[in-house]
Structure 1
Amino acid sequence: MNFLQLPDRTAKPRTYGLTSIIDLGTPYKELKNTLMDYSQYIDVVKFGIGTAYVTPNLKEKIELYKEYHVKPYCGGTFFEKCYFQNKISEYVNYLKQLGIEWIEVSAGTLNIPIQERLNLISQFVKDFHVIAEVGSKDINHQMGVSEWKNEIELLLNAGCDYVITEGRDSGTAGIYDRNGNIKANLISSLLEDLDYRKIIFEAPTPKQQMFFINEIGPNVNVGNVKLSDVLVLETQRRGLRCETFFMEEQASTILT
């Protein structure tokens, strides 16, 4: 029954308007119950902070996500650990054995030069969909606006499907200050020249999510969403929460 006029939402399989959740160890049975009800609102899942390496029943969880048409991948910290120990080939084989078709390239912990990341991406795109992340987890490492734009453009031109703007699972780094406040001027500058449909904005808290919905529209790509917040996020996207209640109609993205 649909009788309200609400902002248009893209439908699965989406290419934008993505909700990317972070899995930090959700038990299999709990996950299955949640996906049965809410998988229509989930597009991508990241096994965060290296948890994929120690998660029980990982293969079964990956298969469950794929059964519900949610794309799984391992977070950048796992990738960087493998890079640091010169285990990239082993990492690639590991992902293939698990049936994971997406790979993240990041430099959130290690200072991996952009050219080195581009070289790795040129290898990965032969076998994977690639997501790259821009920004550091170190709050003291500040990037200028031009550096943000340049890296995002280079990574997309190298063949990445999407680029993630760093925010951590705490929302206190990258596009945020140490108190979790959004660097609004940075976001505004990025949106001037870049296609928001190719950027996933890490926004782990409802307050941060609502900023991007009001700034960009209901079909903004949002990442690092907690599994327990999926329905709340969709409610926000539909203008059914106070803070997004009066979302202007032009904020709705044009469906393609």
Structure 2
Amino acid sequence: MLDHLSTRRIDWQKPRKEGITYIVDKFQGFDSANFKIISPLIDIAKIYGPLPLLISNDQLMDRINFYHEHDILVSVGSTLTEYALLEKSFDKYVEDASKLGFDIIEVGENNIELSLEKKKQIAAKLKSKDLVALWKVGKKDPRRQLSFDQTITKINEAIEVGSEKILLEGNLGYAVGIYDEKGNIKWNIVGAVTSKISPNKIIFETPLEIQQAAMIAEFGQRVNLGETNLENVISIESQRKGFLSPSSYGISSMKKIAKGSPATKFIYYIIRTRNSMEQSELINITNLPRRTVQTGLEELKDQGLIIEKTNLDDIRKKIYHIVKDEWI
């Protein structure tokens, strides 16, 4: 039905490098016949948390083989990897993962800190067993979140040790990383991160359906989504192909319309037409008081519409850039 629309995907055949859908398998029951229908829409399946330790190797291999039969890669989560590192059993862990048929090993620093040298050793060990290292950046505990600079440093380290994709921690979707306490996306942080790292290098963990819809509305079909549930796969793919509009999920005009006072809206208009500006330039062009301009800039940053960078020629000065709403 409408075959000419059903393949309307830039990268619709697997293996995909962009537009990845990465599900979590908590050993929920599903019908094999129905799964076969949606399997082309799934790229990677993660065996949830400690499950590999709680079932027999034969049961685990059956699950992995099932996914492989449907052309889906299988990963182990970062929690188990950290456990193996803490228990000084990493080599055995890698050996077992390889024998069982896993394709990808997530590596994170939720409860541990890894030096760059240690990360290189981990990457080399995984590569020696033909396992892909997928580095996860972020903390699960809302009380121990990384700063922006720490996040960028860890992303760059992951890239340096050869990770093709970076997984941004989303945990349950609340008060972690790019999400606030209500599960809303902090667009100022997303904009700041994607101004440093191309979005196609990132897999955004999006546990909540509204987060998945918002990311697709913002970045388009090529955005990579992780920590998704099986029941969300159809809606994710429908949005990727444009069958469901963002308004279906209550999403509209992502980061396009400034809110606030007339002065704030005017400042946004000026920056948007120039793409980037210093504060002093804004004061001269708008003829607004310095405090009014400063207040407007803070409001726009809070709305995720602009990001602040240091002027490389004069570190005392700040430059304000528009957060682009197209794929960067």
> TM-score scaled to structure 1, two decimals?
0.88
Q: Greater CA deviation, 166-175 or 45-54? A: 166-175
Is 1:203 the counterpart of 2:206 in the alignment?
A: yes
The equivalent residue for 2:185 is 182
Q: CA RMSD in A?
A: 2.6
The whole-number CA distance in structure 2 between the counterparts of 1:182 and 1:253 is 17
Give the CA deviation at 1:67: 0.9
Q: Equivalent residue for 2:9?
A: 8
The one-letter code of the counterpart of 1:10 is D
**Residues 167 and 174 in structure 1, CA contact (< 8 A), matched pair in contact too:** yes
Aligned in 2, Cα 1:46/1:31: closer, same or farther, shift over 3 Å? farther
* Distance change in 2, residues 1:97/1:38 (3 Å): same
Secondary structure in structure 2 of the residue aligned to 1:236: helix
Q: Distance in 1 between matches of 2:63 and 2:74?
A: 9
* 1:1-256 matched pairs, under 5 angstroms: 1-2=2-3, 8-11=9-12, 12-27=14-29, 30=30, 32-55=32-55, 57-108=59-110, 110-115=111-116, 116-127=118-129, 128-243=131-246
Structure of greater Rg: 2
Q: In the superposition, relative to structure 1, how do residues 166 and 186 fare at CA in structure 2: closer, same or farther (>3 Å)? A: same
Structure 2 Cα separation of the partners of residues 121 and 41 of structure 1: 28
**Deviations along 1:190-210, whole A, 9 cap, x unmatched?**
111212122100001111011
**Quick one: distance in 2 between partners of 1:161 and 1:207?**
27
Q: Is the 8 A contact 2:119 2:161 kept in 1?
A: no
| SS of aligned partner of 1:140 | helix
> Cα offset for 1:179?
2.6
Q: Is the 8 A contact 1:204 1:225 kept in 2?
A: yes
C-alpha distance 60-233 of structure 1, shift in aligned 2 (>3 A) = same
- TM-score, length of structure 2 as denominator length: 0.70
Instruction: Sort the Cα spacing of 1:178 and 1:84 in 2 relative to 1 into closer, same or farther, 3 A.
Output: farther
Deviations 1:22-46 (A, max 9, x none): 001124xx25234211011000011
Distance in 2, matches of 1:23 and 1:42, equals 12
Separation in 2, partners of 1:252, 1:59 = 41
Q: Secondary structure at the match of 1:69?
A: coil
| RCO comparison, higher one (Cα < 8 Å, 6+) | 1
Q: Partner amino acid for 1:78?
A: L
- Shift of the 177–164 alpha-carbon distance from structure 1 to 2, 3 Å rule, reads same
Structure 2 letter corresponding to 1:152: I
Structure 2: gaps (5+ residues): 255-324
Deviations 1:120-167 (A, max 9, x none): 223322321110000000101122222211211210121112110000
User: In the aligned structure 2, how far is the partner of 1:81 from the partner of 1:153?
Assistant: 24
* 8 Å contact kept, 2:134–2:167: yes
Mapped contact 2:6–2:241 kept (Cα < 8 A): no
Instruction: Verify the 8 A CA contact 2:173 2:179 in the aligned structure 1.
Output: no
Change (3 A) 1:156 1:175: same
Alpha-carbon distance, 1:244 to partner: 5.7
SS at match of 1:49: coil
